[in-house]
Structure 1
């Protein structure tokens, strides 16, 4: 039963899981429940926002980078977004969600 509940929560994805972790962790540190919820909500909104920005950035910059690489005949196998863009990516990994 507990395993099924945990699997359901973990399957909700990082956009839901990270705010829940923040809420529980901040409550364990002694914050008021309202402040815990507010912090988790802010983290969740920021997480969704970063995902949207990365998606839009890849959609708009990707074709331009490919055209530049083709024009200058260089090989660019990857796309670097820096630490702000890549920091949420580990939470998308299955191992970060307990599986």
Structure 2
């Protein structure tokens, strides 16, 4: 037999498993989820809004109040230099600067 180490001779103790993710796809999913959450937080802070939560809001020049889950109108995030962001509440689309007043409901 030659001097090379047989793969079966490696020490695969339980402690060594903690150094590697068990499922690389799962690790990638958690990283994606974490980055997505951080991006939404930056948008909320920059534009003074809350996303993916139920709100009641009034738009400038409109006496009617609208209720629903406030969402980004596009899956593409606004560039860092953006002054406004396009939002959606049900079928209604508008920019963050159109919001006169809002309150969260949940």
TM-score normalised according to structure 1 size: 0.30
**Structure 1 or 2: larger strand share?**
2
Question: Which entry has the higher C-alpha Rg, 1 or 2?
Answer: 2
TM-score normalised according to structure 2 size: 0.28
**Structure 1 or 2: larger helix share?**
1
Task: Say which structure, 1 or 2, has more relative contact order (CA 8 Å, 6+ apart).
Answer: 1
